[in-house]
Amino acid sequence: MIRISVLASSSRGNATVISGGGTHVLVDTGISALRIRKGLAECGLSVPALSGIFFTHEHQDHVCGLGVLSKKDTLNLYCSRYMAQDVRGMAPGALFTYLEPGQTLEVGSLKITPFCVSHDALDPLGYLFECEGTRLGYVTDTGIIVKPMPELLAGVQGLYLESNYDPDMLANSGRTPALISRISGRWGHLSNEQACEFVRQIAHPGLQHLILAHISPECNTPAKASRAMQATLSELGLSTQLHCAAMANRLPWIEIQ
Ligand SMILES: [Zn+2]
Ligand SMILES: [Zn+2]
């Protein structure tokens, strides 16, 4: 079994706890250290209980709590080598492990395979988490679905998936044309429809839980993202439980068998 609790997620901040077989890891530290500690406590955990912190990439909405978090505890950080160069100064006492896409590593009871995503960051990563036959895909901050995501994540029982923007809301958001192009481009973010298209690619009856994440507060709504995905799940005949991660409230533990 793998358990996941999203402490927060939106374009403004992201942090997620993933547990399996007694091993606990955090993915990203893009909210305040105070909120991370509080969220971990609500999960019955603490920073020293974490075997590691895995990073998707160095953007502020994924790392901003790192500096304060690293002052009190010695952290085991896992990220791409390129990203480590950028954030090392934020956490001088931390221990870094560099990740290579496609190379699986074991941390306690969890098997973790990083993979490339398409985003304007320093070698950004998505993850496949595995524990005793249960598999959870973690896909965020990617402008397009790239190889090997469909192959690697086929058959997952759980999926954490960015559903960042609604194209009409983005077009009418008052953002500059350059920013709109960046968000909707191949190095940006997934729209609701792109998220649905990816789920169509990897859909199977064993997909138990789907968590929509990184929902933009200005260019999307949880209702729009959920409606689009629920329609896709219904069209596919799946009874997958759909969840929406939020910025303000922790998403309580979800158990994936
Ligand atoms: Zn980003
Ligand atoms: Zn982000």
The SS3 of residue 30 is: coil
User: What spacing in Å lies between the alpha carbon of 98 and ligand 1's midpoint?
Assistant: 19
What gap in Å lies between CA 40 and CA 158, rounded to an integer? 21
Q: What pLDDT is attached to residue 171?
A: 98
Mean of the pLDDT values across residues 112-128? 98
User: What spacing in Å lies between the alpha carbon of 243 and ligand 2's midpoint?
Assistant: 19
Structure token digits, residue 167? 């194209």
In which band, very low, low, confident or very high, does the pLDDT at 152 lie, cut at 50, 70 and 90? very high
The 10s digit of each residue's pLDDT in 17-72 is 999 999 999 999 999 999 999 999 999 999 999 999 999 999 999 999 999 999 99
Contact 51, 71 (CB under 8 A): no
User: What spacing in Å lies between the alpha carbon of 223 and ligand 1's midpoint?
Assistant: 23
Q: Which ligand sits closest to the CA of 164?
A: 2
User: What spacing in Å lies between the alpha carbon of 71 and ligand 1's midpoint?
Assistant: 24
User: What spacing in Å lies between the alpha carbon of 57 and ligand 2's midpoint?
Assistant: 8
The 10s digit of each residue's pLDDT in 100-117 is 999 999 999 999 999 999
Q: Which ligand sits closest to the CA of 14?
A: 2
User: What spacing in Å lies between the alpha carbon of 239 and ligand 1's midpoint?
Assistant: 31
User: What spacing in Å lies between the alpha carbon of 45 and ligand 2's midpoint?
Assistant: 24
What gap in Å lies between CA 3 and CA 17, rounded to an integer? 8
Structural domain boundaries in the chain: 2-256
User: What spacing in Å lies between the alpha carbon of 29 and ligand 2's midpoint?
Assistant: 11
Q: Which ligand sits closest to the CA of 28?
A: 2
What gap in Å lies between CA 201 and CA 251, rounded to an integer? 26
Pick the CATH number of 2-256 from 3.60.15.10, 3.40.50.10470, 3.30.70.1230, 3.40.50.2000: 3.60.15.10
Mean of the pLDDT values across residues 124-149? 97
